[in-house]
Structure formats: C-alpha cells, structure tokens
Chain A
Amino acid sequence: KNEVEQSPQNLTAQEGEFITINCSYSVGISALHWLQQHPGGGIVSLFMLSSGKKKHGRLIATINIQEKHSSLHITASHPRDSAVYICAVITSGTYKYIFGTGTRLKVLA
C-alpha cells in the first residue's frame, strides 16, 4: 500500500462544476504540498499547508491532521484547469517528499 494515496485517479468534469480531489497518507508529516503538472510536464506549486485551510482564487486546500487527509477543491472549473494534480507529503523528522501518483483532471467546455 502506498504511503500517499490520491483519489480519484482520473476525473472528467464539465466546465463550471465543483471538483474535489482527495489525498490520504499514512506517515507522520510536517506539511503537505499540492502541485499541478501541466501537459508539457512542468510542475507548479499550488499550496503548502500543515493545518486548516488555504485559498487562492478558485482553489481551496484543506487538511485534517488527525484523520491524515487533505482535499483540493476547484470551484467553477474551467478547461484551463485540466492538468495532473499531485499530492506530496513532507515527512516529519527526515523532511523528505513522498508523492502520490496524481489525479488526472480533464474539464470539458
């Protein structure tokens, strides 16, 4: 079993829909990092959080440390949101990154 699990693996949505991507982990962490990988392969940082909730534009990230779970929400989705979203945890103590396998999102116009 992977230490970082994302769901769903693939997601197709219609433009305007509210989207949720989930991330569960089984190790102790100091923080969790949500990343976006564009079709060309480059990776962009979205959020790094260790508690509570962060919001930037149409993106919202939440984390529940007790339940070892984080969610990434996209409101009013748009075709330009189509990408792979990757959850990564930074392990406590060793501060190493462990990556989930990613969620491939396609938003249709």
Chain B
Amino acid sequence: DGGITQSPKYLFRKEGQNVTLSCEQNLNHDAMYWYRQDPGQGLRLIYYSQIVNDFQKGDIAEGYSVSREKKESFPLTVTSAQKNPTAFYLCASSIGELRGAGSAQHFGDGTRLSIL
C-alpha cells in the first residue's frame, strides 16, 4: 500500500544535539511538507519542497533544516538553535502544484520529539 512513513515514532534529544526525523513516501508525489503541532494550536508549516533539490521555508523555519535529494525522502533536522523543539512533527505529501494546484495532502503518523 502507498503511504508516508515517519520514523522514529518517539525521539529524545539532549540539550545541544541535532536530531534528524525521517519521512519517506511511495505515493510518487512531487511535493512534501513538514509541520509542527503544539497543544491548542493548528499545524504550522516548517519547510516544504515542490520538487527534488528545491525547498522553501515555511512560517516557522528557524532552527530547522531540510534536504530533498530524492523524490521519496524529505528528512527534517532539528538543530540546537531550535530553543523549544518539544512538539509533535508531521510530514505530508501531495501531487504538488506542478501537476495539480491545490491537491490534497496526505499525512504520516508523526514523530513525537522530547527534550531530556
């Protein structure tokens, strides 16, 4: 079955460490997205990518970095510069604007990141 796989499900970070969250999709989607979810708030966009080797900052990109070397993969690194990284992180993908503007996003099961 096609879908989005995020790993790990739970992740713990020590102060000063960088950690990388994995997101893989086999839906043949061009576009991929990273969101952060905090209690009582809607999902907020961190980074998105419409095509391989290209990505743009979202609304809350500070302290995060991404890469898009393969169509299927869009890893997110939470750097030590992110002062409040404890949150639930969701990856999503869509056909993308290049093939169909406003297409529905499909979501993974998320990674919960906590600070030790």
Contacts and interface: CB of A to CB of B under 8 A. Distances in A.
Interface in A49-82: none
B54 interface: no
Given A33-B104, A43-B90, A95-B97, A102 B42 contact: yes
A100 B42 contact: yes
Contacts, number: 49
Given A41-B88, A42-B109, A42-B110, A48 B42 contact: no
A35 B108 CA distance: 12
Interface residues of B, number: 20
B53 interface: no
Interface of B: 33, 40-45, 88, 90, 97, 101-102, 104-110, 112
Per CB-CB distance, the 4 closest pairs between chain A and chain B, nearest first, are: A99-B42, A42-B109, A43-B107, A41-B110
